[in-house]
Amino acid sequence: MHRITLPILLLAALLVSGCGSGAPDSFMRMTRQYWEVVDVKPSIKYNDAWERVIYIITKKFELEMISKEDGYVSSAYGPSYFTEDMQRDKYQVRIVAKFSPDKKKFEFKIEARIWDGKIFVNGSDVRVAANMRRDFLNSLGEPQKKGAKPAPADSVQTDEVPAEPF
């Protein structure tokens, strides 16, 4: 009896934890995407900021649309750049990024989707978003003031509560 029960329990645990669906724990199901905002250091000119952004994005994503004049770039959907997510062909991630019209702010969002067998379920990937936020802040952002508490790496800027994880 234990030989049959243990494999069934393990399979049930995998399905409940999300592994059976192909979505990593960092996937957050949501219908509305939220833009992360980075204030660009005044000392960084737009051409330099643009080159830094493109360099950071192309290290991890394949570009689909790019317009330097408009300050807009988006990647194609593809597997997450985290090794453990590469095997999940039903799970895809992309980045959409833009500069504000005055080029003083840089905004980006991470869009993720998981194929449920019939449709793509949309959301975001908080792990990818935190990594990209760190890279952009290190390259473009104003340094934190001493004593200031940084935003948690897994925070998502929202004006409404996101849906439950997938």
Radius of gyration of the CA atoms of the chain, in A: 19
- What is the mean pLDDT of the segment spanning 6-21? 39
Q: The CATH number of the domain where 64 resides is what?
A: 3.30.530
The pLDDT of residue 151 is 44
**Span 17-25, average pLDDT:** 59
* Residue ranges making up the domain that contains 128: 24-140
Question: H/E element holding 49?
Answer: helix 46-58
Residue 86 domain-assigned (yes or no): yes
Residue 11 lies in a domain: no
Judge whether residue 57 has pLDDT over 90: yes
Average pLDDT, stretch 100-127?
93
pTM for this model (two decimals): 0.71
Q: Over pLDDT 90: what percentage of the chain?
A: 52
Q: What is the pLDDT of residue 112?
A: 94
State which H helix or E strand residue 38 sits in. strand 36-39
Do the Cβ atoms of 76 and 51 come closer than 8 Å?
A: no
The mean per-residue pLDDT over the stretch 25-40 comes to 90
Residue 44 lies in a domain: yes
